Amino acid sequence: MPSNSDRKTQYASRRCKIRVPVLTEDQKANRVNVSQELLDHVSVVENFLKTIVTGDETWVYGYDVETKAQLSQWVGQGSPRPKKARMSQSNMKVMLVVFFDWQGAIHYEFVTCGQTVNKEFYVAVLKRLREAIRRKRPQLWTNQSWVLHHENAPAHLSFLARNFLVKNETTVAPQPPYSPDMAPADFLLFPKLKSTLKGRRFDTSDEIQKNSTKELFAILKEAFQSWQKHWGWCVASKGNYFEGDKLE
């Protein structure tokens, strides 16, 4: 087993860096198996990708530090480097929960201040998601053909949540552990959403919600459409992490 120090490394995605552990051989094999299973479904089950509803949670900040590229400014030759006050991430933040498919958003909500995203809360979210699917994706609802995909957070994997999904005969797509590069919310949606908000200051939670919602709807479809490529890249890389739109 790798040591605690070995377990800390950087997975560099196209637009962000996410801390993940060094993968064991078993974990790599599991990533390949899951990716191949999903690719097989795509080739065998007609419109399989169009049945998946995926989602996750993330914090959105009142102020998030700009990237180095955003901070850089062009100056003429011989001009002094412009000075910019050093800012830090604000304490004000709002948690966003969003579920989407190939057509865009199905359900999103902002967590009430003081509410913990625990197993009870997540089951309540799943109930609201089901109602949203019934209204917005009537064909998937009528045929009971939709497939849920979510990350391996404790609330998601709790007995309460799993029992709720079993009782409602909800199929769950596999998600290998330690694999942000295999979840559209992690590898594209949330990083891109936050990059559009970096350097902008919002003084209230209402401002955070209004602006993040506007940006969210502009990028949802792009996040979903690149997902299948990641399964192929994972298989080709033999379960190792990959970067950007090509294998390194």
Domains annotated on the chain, with CATH: 24-69+84-236 (3.30.420.10)
pLDDT tens-digit readout, 199-248: 899 999 999 999 999 888 888 766 677 899 999 999 999 999 986 544 33
- Say if residues 149 and 175 touch (Cβ distance below 8 Å): yes
In tens, the pLDDT along 128-182 reads: 999 999 999 999 999 999 999 999 999 999 999 999 999 999 999 999 999 999 9
Dihedral angle computed from the Cα positions of residues 224, 42, 107 and 114, in that order, rounded to the nearest 10 degrees: -80
The structure's pTM equals: 0.82
Instruction: State the DSSP string of 70-128.
Output: HH-----TTPPPPP-------S-EEEEEEEEETTEEEEEEEPPTT----HHHHHHHHHH
Task: Please identify which residue in the block is written with the tokens 């094999």.
Answer: 29
